Amino acid sequence: MTTYNDRHAIFRNSSSNYTDNEDKKIEVPPEDIILNFFELAPDFSVQGDMIKYDESLDYKIELGEVDRALVEAILASDSGIVTRSELLKAGIERGLNESSLQVSITYSPLLKHIGIDTYKLIGKNLETGTLLAHRDIVASKTKRKSLLFSDWHQGLIRLVVRCPQFNSLVVGSPSMFKSYLTDKKFRAVDENGDSFGTIGINSRGTIYGMNTFVAQKNVRENDILVIMFDILDSVAHLHIADINEFQDMVD
């Protein structure tokens, strides 16, 4: 049964795809209009501020492949709560595209974002203790930094980054280098000079665009990615450091 709060989440998530562009903004009908609509709609009934579909639905038939994977990942969880990483892992194990999964997790009307990197199914009630315990676990995991350190090295800006579990890697610019990197773009190359697209830094200093390199080089979680920014030539040199090189950096 869909509750008042759940409808809010559904309408908010369903419309969010359209609100980033002024030309595509949509107006969500007032709640009394929605309730009146479903009172007249066949196969639905309204009880107070709740809307109920009167027929039995099988999510395995009704949902597409990506949404079905997300739902089953949550149903398989003992707590009914999962992280984004857990949802990604479940989808990728089914052979689904990571980019499609990222978008679906963000905008799916089936999921409710209930905390940092934490999701549940719309309409699923959770015990407060279960939610708080899960949030503590997630908070402890998010304390690990992606950016290990940064410095000037051989006239280039060097960033040393710990790679995440999945290919979606973004890093914040260190404050001492923001003025050199913000709103810039760099051609990404490896040790052999092969090109891997473009690394960009937005106005907030967020560095993005390493995913092509990470994916094609089969980078694993916790691998050490070294990015060397050549400011004059607008080139970013990328390579994965071995244990000896990393030890030399930190000594």
Secondary structure (H, E, C), 36-73: HHHHHCCCEEEECCEEEECCCCCHHHHCCHHHHHHHHH
pTM for this structure? 0.50
Distance CA 10, CA 112 (A): 9
Look at residue 144 in the predicted model and tell me its pLDDT: 55
156-174 pLDDT, tens digit per residue, is 999 999 887 666 788 889 9
SS3 26: coil
Look at residue 28 in the predicted model and tell me its pLDDT: 82
Given a cut of 90, whether residue 235 has pLDDT beyond it is yes
Split at pLDDT 50, 70, 90, the class of 146 is confident
pLDDT (mean) for 205-212: 90
pLDDT (mean) for 183-193: 95
Distance CA 106, CA 119 (A): 10
21-67 pLDDT, tens digit per residue, is 556 566 888 888 999 999 999 889 998 888 888 888 888 888 889 99
Highest mean pLDDT among 5-14, 19-28, 221-230, 241-250: 221-230
Residue 154 vs residue 139, higher pLDDT: 154
Look at residue 142 in the predicted model and tell me its pLDDT: 52
Instruction: Tell me the Cα Rg of the chain.
Output: 23
Strand boundaries in 86-155, DSSP class E:
111-115, 118-121, 147-153
Domains assigned to the chain: 4-141 (no CATH), 147-250 (2.40.330.10)
9-26 pLDDT, tens digit per residue, is 444 444 444 445 556 566
Look at residue 157 in the predicted model and tell me its pLDDT: 96
Look at residue 38 in the predicted model and tell me its pLDDT: 92
Look at residue 112 in the predicted model and tell me its pLDDT: 86
- DSSP 8-state secondary structure symbol assigned to residue 28: P
DSSP one-letter string for 82-97: EEHHHHHHHHHHTT--
Q: Which two tokens stand for residue 244?
A: 């000896």
Residue 228 vs residue 138, higher pLDDT: 228
Helix axes 65-75, 84-93, angle to 10 degrees: 120
86-135 pLDDT, tens digit per residue, is 888 888 888 888 878 888 888 888 998 877 678 888 877 766 666 666 66
Distance CA 189, CA 209 (A): 12
| Cβ–Cβ under 8 Å, residues 48 and 32 | no
Look at residue 238 in the predicted model and tell me its pLDDT: 96
